[in-house]
Amino acid sequence: MGATSPLQGEVSRPSRRQFIGAAVAATGASLMPRPLLAQGAPPRIVVVGGGFAGATAARTLKRLDARLDVTLVEANPIFTSCPFSNEVIAGLRDIAAQRFGYDRIAADGVTVVPQAATGVDGRARTVMLADNMRLNYDRLVVAPGIDLRFDALPGYDEAAAERLPHAWKAGAQTELLRRQLESMEDGGTVVMAVPALPYRCPPAPYERACLIAYYLKTRKPRSKIIVLDAKDTFSKQRLFEKAWKELYPNLEWVSLSSGGNPTAVDASTNSIMSDFDTYKADVANVIPPQKAARIAELAGVADRTGWCPVEPVTFESRLVPNIHVLGDAAIAGAVPKSAYAANAAAKICAVAVAKLVRGETPVEEKFVNTCYSLAAPDYGFSIAGVYRPMGGQWLEVEGAGGISPVDAPPEFRRSEAKLAYGWFNTIMAEIFG
Amino acid sequence: MCRRLALRGDARKEAPSTALRAVPLPRFAGEDEDAGAALRSPRGAGLAGAIVCVLLCAGMWVLPALAAEAPAGAMSCSGCHPGSANIDTPVPRLIGKDPAAIVAAMQAFRSGTRTATVMDRIAKGFSDDEIRSIAAWYGAQR
């Protein structure tokens, strides 16, 4: 292997770490029970995916131990955040405020490779890239996010998504949905289709419904929004229902048992079919079922559900050794698919990986998830949870966490809205700033 | 994040950390640019060798402790509690705060004697020992 950059065929990076590795090996190899370091090369850790989980993991690893050879593989040169993209859709925020670059992460010493990962050979410990280059790893972190399942809802494929946007990956889809709302005539009907769990960010469809209703109420008051749901219960439900009652007579939620389950889409008529009815939309937002992004399947870390089961503490795959899975792609017990949890779990995983490559044993951990939703720009609420490993799973600590009080005064909602914006500023600074 | 030099709060108290103190962590970790330059030079090579030798001869841990070896739960606080004063948020910084003040606040949130938006729900998930460790760790950072 030698002390080269993991980018085979490229000139290796400056030799400072090689030199340190060599010095340590020369003087102390026989005394050190540290297999990877004793070989004279820094341990190579490759992270696939530069979102909340992957970017956090890469940066944390480098900060924990600057000698680690950390490579971040991410095809997009700019990350566009899903949290707060519902505000963009509702015309409350510019998409530019959602965009973050990898310069600061690279400045911390992470090698950022702006390419798609096209395959993983878990036995050879190699990641294949779009340009046929290969990256060798000692430990791989897979944090690729989600793929939308274009085979799940009849009539909803990639072409249909250009007419009936999902906007469940932030970027062009977000802007498309916003433009459609802007060009809709007053008096129009917006129809949303919401899938069953699991999917990225469980409360986000309901926040989106609120903020679209806010846009309609303030800009197109004769219009309405209908939410077709494959569920009867959902995250922060009592808080959302209270907000709908207080703020949005223009919003109708059709639950599973009321016949709301979206069963098909007809892009040619801009319609969504449910169990009982066909809803013709002026603007349709179809959030289809999801699965871990394709690279997880190619790496062999996704199971038949399409998601990736992992061990607690290390977030190591239960299916392929030396591969850790983070973020929305993972099934980690009770851990929700939220940006906050992705970031918190990535820090824990980074510590575990840094320990594992030193031959040390990761210690038990614990973490917090806090997830804010906005029902209006000055109306926020949250769900929180504290998680710890129990019986081989991440489970919620009983007696802790839960949702904001349902009967809180407006000041409380205003205060939580401010906390929501503050959370976004803080977490983005930690990851990308 | 400003925790790259931080040791665990309790480790700092307990460990006979003379070797770690004698050898600045970033230099040995190759993180500091000046140290990097020194290490690239022949003279730096001798220095690095000497450091390794001294540590080995003293029977001490050759590798520096992982920079951010935080007590359980501590790392997730920075999702909301900002790492610098420049971040626009109503949430206070924990870094460098008096550990006793953090402990008192957490206990008051947990018991409900101090009103909160979300910290009452979070504090209920932590024991006194965990709170003290987290408070010491944040308090020790600059």
Q: Read off the tokens for B20.
A: 């770690």
pLDDT tier, A41 (very low <50, low <70, confident <90, very high otherwise): confident
Residues A104-129 have a mean pLDDT of 98
Asked whether the beta carbons of A22 and A343 are under 8 A apart, the reply is no
Asked whether the beta carbons of A125 and A231 are under 8 A apart, the reply is no
- Interface touch B30/A363, C-beta < 8 Å: no
Residues of chain B contacting A340 with CB distance shorter than 8 Å: 79
Specify the pLDDT at position A225: 98
Specify the pLDDT at position B69: 78
A6 pLDDT more than 80:
no
Residue of chain B with shortest Cα separation from A429: B87
Residues of chain A contacting B39 with CB distance shorter than 8 Å: 16, 19-20
User: Could you tell me the pTM of the whole model?
Assistant: 0.84
Residues B1-21 have a mean pLDDT of 35
pLDDT tens by residue, B35-91: 333 333 444 444 444 444 334 333 333 445 565 579 999 999 999 999 999 999 999
- Interface touch B56/A347, C-beta < 8 Å: no
Residues A13-28 have a mean pLDDT of 37
Residues A97-102 have a mean pLDDT of 98
DSSP for B83-138 reads: SSTTS--SSPP-TT--HHHHHHHHHHHHHTSS--SSHHHHHTT--HHHHHHHHHHH
pLDDT tier, B142 (very low <50, low <70, confident <90, very high otherwise): confident
C-alpha A335/C-alpha A367 separation (Å) is 10
Residues of chain A contacting B118 with CB distance shorter than 8 Å: 370, 382, 384, 404, 416, 419
B74-140: which CATH topology?
Answer: Cytochrome Bc1 Complex; Chain D, domain 2 (1.10.760)
CA dihedral of residues A200, A203, A205, A207 (deg, nearest 10) = -130
Residue of chain B with shortest Cα separation from A349: B75
pLDDT tens by residue, A131-147: 999 999 999 999 999 99
A189 pLDDT more than 60:
yes
Q: Is the model more confident about B10 or about B136?
A: B136
Specify the pLDDT at position B48: 46
Write out residues 64-83 of B within 8 Å (CB-CB) of A. 64, 66-70, 72-73, 75-83
| Best mutation target, A27, A396, A403, to test chain B (most B CBs within 10 A) | A27
Asked whether the beta carbons of B138 and B76 are under 8 A apart, the reply is no
Q: Is B63 on the interface with A (CB under 8 A)?
A: yes
C-alpha B71/C-alpha B19 separation (Å) is 22
Asked whether the beta carbons of A86 and A374 are under 8 A apart, the reply is yes
B116 pLDDT more than 60:
yes
Q: Read off the tokens for A119.
A: 């395959």
Q: Read off the tokens for A265.
A: 């889409």
C-alpha A230/C-alpha A261 separation (Å) is 4
Residues B113-130 have a mean pLDDT of 97
Q: What's the mean per-residue pLDDT of chain A?
A: 92
- Interface touch B75/A66, C-beta < 8 Å: no
Residues of chain A contacting B81 with CB distance shorter than 8 Å: 426
**A359, burial (CB in 10 Å: exposed 0-12, middle 13-18, buried 19+):** middle
Specify the pLDDT at position B66: 63
pLDDT tens by residue, A258-269: 999 999 999 999
Residues A340-346 have a mean pLDDT of 98
Nearest C-alpha of chain B: how many angstroms from A322? Answer: 20
Q: CB-CB: which of B69, B79, B123 is closest to A426? A: B79
- Interface touch A19/B78, C-beta < 8 Å: no
